[in-house]
Structures are given as structure tokens and as C-alpha cells.
Structure 1
Amino acid sequence: MPRPLYVSDEVRALAPGFAYLTVEAHGLTNGPSDDISSGLLEEAGRRLAERLGTRAPQDDPHIAAWRAAYSAFGCKPSRTRNSAEALARRALADGGLPRINRLVDIYNAISVAHLIPVGGEDLDRIQGGMRLVRATGEEPFAIAAGGAETVEHPDAGEVVWCDDEGVTCRRWNWRQGVRTRLTEESVNALFLLERMAPMTLDELTAAGAELAEALQKACPEARIEVGDIRPR
């Protein structure tokens, strides 16, 4: 069973409609984007367009709930978009979704198809347990800038995912750091699907099951485990 993650009381109070589901995978085989992962992204874009109809992504009730959560901790959601909204906008734009690598393409496809934030972390690079907290502003966050790795810090009070070494994702699910991201060499991964009400728990479960199925098809020898929905 995937390890549970820690969500602070401060974050629970900020967004009582929040819940997450983890999918843990061991023995993955990653590599460059291919026809299969590209096909998943294209199909996800079609599913998104059918879901939205004439609406913009921000008008979907689930994205509107994420925008409200971002506003609650001091972020402007039109300038700092949650990952699902950002990907949805790219999926609907000319050029469509970017191709990163097979594993990232797979979880991005699930994110767009279900309009839910999904992240992927390299389990071998996570230090200790992962936590969702409000930042002090002192935590290190590794990014790539100008071709080199550098460190910045979150704003005080910002909601961040972090481990024992520092922040892994800023502004809840806005920007992932370079330290734990999935690369073509990654073999063990933790995927995180994050929901706000009014998205139902059944819909969250369905998104997690579809991700697990896609990973198993792409990596038949991998061991895939879906966790329980939390917090309860």
C-alpha cells in the first residue's frame, strides 16, 4: 500500500474540500515520448474539449474551486494557475500539449482528461515523508534557470509540498522543482492526484484507476499500487 502523506491542519482549514489519492509505482521503464504517450495526450485533449463545450477551463466548477483555494492563501489564480488549468489551456491552444517523456505524458493525459491536478515524483529522490504545509518562507526550492540549477524560496504562508530536503512543488501544484521530477532514468515514482469539492470521491477514484491502468500498459513488469483517498 502506498505510504500516506501528511496534510497540515492549517491546509485542511484553508480548503476543507481537499482530498488526494496516490499511485505508487516500482520498476517503471521511462523513455522519450512515443506514439502511445502522444496518442494519450491527443485523446485527453478531445475528452477535455467535449467536457468543456464552449466554456473556458476556469469556468469548470472543479477549476473554480481550485482558484478559490489559491486565493485563500494569497495567490492570484489568473496569474498563478493550478497545474490542471494550465495544462487544459495548453491542450486547447494551437500546438496542444507538450511532449516531455513517457511517464510525464501519461500523467499529464490523465490530468487533462479528468481536469484534475496530477503530479509525479521520483521516489528515489524524495527525502523522508512528503508534507503539504503552509511555508515559512525559508524552505529551499531547486529550479533550473538559464541552464543551471539554482535555489529560490516560497512566500511565507504559501501552500507547498515538501520533504525533508525542501520544497518539491510550490503554490500547491503550480510549479514542480527539478530535484524530484521524473526523468527518463526514473524507475520508481509517486503520482499524486488532488481534488477539491465539488469533484466527487468516485471521480477521484476513477482518475486514479485510469492512471494505474495506463502505467501498467506502458510498463507491464512494474508493480502499481493505488492508495486510499485522504484526508478522511
Structure 2
Amino acid sequence: MKITLNKHLLKQMPGLKLGIIHYTKITVSESPQMLRGRLQLFQEQLFFELDTKPLTDFPGIKEWRETWKAFGADPNRYRPSVEALYRRIKKQNYLHTVHTAVDLNTFFSLQYEIPAGIYDAAKLVGDIQLTVGGEEDGYDGLNGRFNSLHNILQLKDEYSPFGSPYVDSIRTAVTEETTDALHVLFLRPSMDKEEALKLTTACGNMFTSISGGEASCYVIDEESPSVLVNGKEPFTF
């Protein structure tokens, strides 16, 4: 599976980068009490912080709003997923646990102030590319409705779009039957390569410590815009 960052995107946002984690032999199940408690505590702490701190004062949210605008989308109408999560917490509408994969994905997004998505690798078709959606692009999302991806970054396999830093598709959703998964971290463009790889590796390490299996970690950016999963010097642990 080859994952590519479309080179045309880099003209509008040279620092654009993705953290890619490929999991194999994982077990997706009900989250342990440790993870449920940690996620709840983090949300409660964030709620009090949001009481006095504007959303745009969070560096990750500010940076992703700017990225949205760079590609022609309106962040006030279609918000980056991390901002949507923070807005829920600000209203004390805390996120309920689902299973280990979704809960860890949510935790990483909140902790690092970045959009993130996790996808069942068995449901992906062929190679994957990060592009900007056209007028015709969209899918039925995990939010229960059809979502247009016009001017929004999208992950697209050889069948159709399936993920984005806005909302993900139901087609590639991870379930408790999933054993191989692709985790995509929409990293801050300002983050340097070393920090990006360190963050991606830390997420992979925490994920496998809870869900078992193995993780191979990569970063794609302007310097290395594509990667062949399981074929290009991953960091494996």
C-alpha cells in the first residue's frame, strides 16, 4: 500500500505532513478502565481550561484553522475535527467511550491538538493519496450524514474518499473485528520532522501497549511525500 501526499498541496502549505501508523495483529475491544479514566479526566481538565481560554489560543486549533483557509474551506462552517471535539467539551458534552481504537484516536487528537483518523486496513482499496476534495467528493460519515469534502483535505483510496481532518467515512470504520488498521495523524504543519516522528512513534507505542499487535510508523512531508507501508524503513516496536 503506497500512501502519497499530493505535491500540489505543498505549494499552498509547504509544511504539510502526516504521521502514518500501520497496525497489524491488534485486538480492538472495550477500553480498559485506565484509558476510560484518563480520557474522562483529560476532558474535565480541558473543560476548566476552556472556561477562560479562547479556542483560537490553542496552537493546534489555530494552525488547523489557518490550514483550512489555505485550501479554500471555511473553518467556521466546516470545522477541523479537533476543534469540533474541543467545542463539545466546552459545552460539557463529554465524549463517551466506544472501544480501544476510537478512544485512543480521540485521546491523541485532544492531547496533541490535531485531527486524527483510524481506518480498517482490510476495507481500504489499493493505494492512498492525500488530496483536496472537489465539488463531487464526499461520503456518508461517522456523524450520521452525507458530508461534502469540497476544498477540504481528504484521504482517497482507489475506490473513493474515506477520511479527512473533518469527519471520517463509515466505509472504513474500525470495529472490534478489525485486526489491521491504518492510523493517520494530521500533524501541525509547523512541526519539524524529528518532532513529528517522535509524536507518531509515541502514539503507536501507546496504542500497541493497550491493543497489542505491532506498529510501523512513518512521516510523509515535502521531503518524503510518499511511503510504501511495510516497505520503507519504518520505526517498528
TM-score range, shorter chain: 0.7 to 0.9
- After TM superposition, the score normalised by the length of structure 2 is 0.81
1:192 to 184, 195, 209: 184
After superposition, the Cα gap between the structure-2 partners of 1:183 and 1:86, relative to the gap in structure 1 and judged at 3 Å, is: same
Q: What amino acid is aligned across from residue 216 of structure 1 in structure 2?
A: T
Give the distance between the partners of 2:177 and 2:20, measured in 1 at CA. 21
- After TM superposition, the score normalised by the length of structure 1 is 0.82
* 8 Å contact kept, 1:40–1:106: no
Q: Which residue in 1 is equivalent to 2:4?
A: 6
Matched-pair identity in %? 22
Q: Which residue in 2 is equivalent to 1:82?
A: 80
After superposition, the Cα gap between the structure-2 partners of 1:214 and 1:144, relative to the gap in structure 1 and judged at 3 Å, is: closer
Give the distance between the partners of 2:202 and 2:45, measured in 1 at CA. 14
Instruction: Could you tell me which runs of 5 or more consecutive residues in structure 1 were left unpaired when the two chains were aligned.
Output: none
* 8 Å contact kept, 1:30–1:185: yes
Q: Which residue in 2 is equivalent to 1:164?
A: 158
After superposition, the Cα gap between the structure-2 partners of 1:51 and 1:7, relative to the gap in structure 1 and judged at 3 Å, is: farther
RMSD: 2.8
Q: SS of the counterpart of 2:76?
A: coil
1:137 to 135, 138, 141: 135
Q: Which residue in 2 is equivalent to 1:216?
A: 208
Q: How is 1:54-65 mapped onto 2 (pairs within 5 angstroms)?
A: 54-65=52-63
Give the distance between the partners of 1:152 and 1:65, measured in 2 at CA. 23
* 8 Å contact kept, 1:6–1:131: yes
Q: How is 1:168-187 mapped onto 2 (pairs within 5 angstroms)?
A: 168-169=162-163, 172-187=164-179
Size of the alignment, in residue pairs? 223
Give the distance between the partners of 2:155 and 2:181, measured in 1 at CA. 16
Q: SS of the counterpart of 1:180?
A: coil
Per-residue deviation, 1:164: 0.8
* 8 Å contact kept, 2:14–2:222: no
Q: Which residue in 2 is equivalent to 1:108?
A: 106
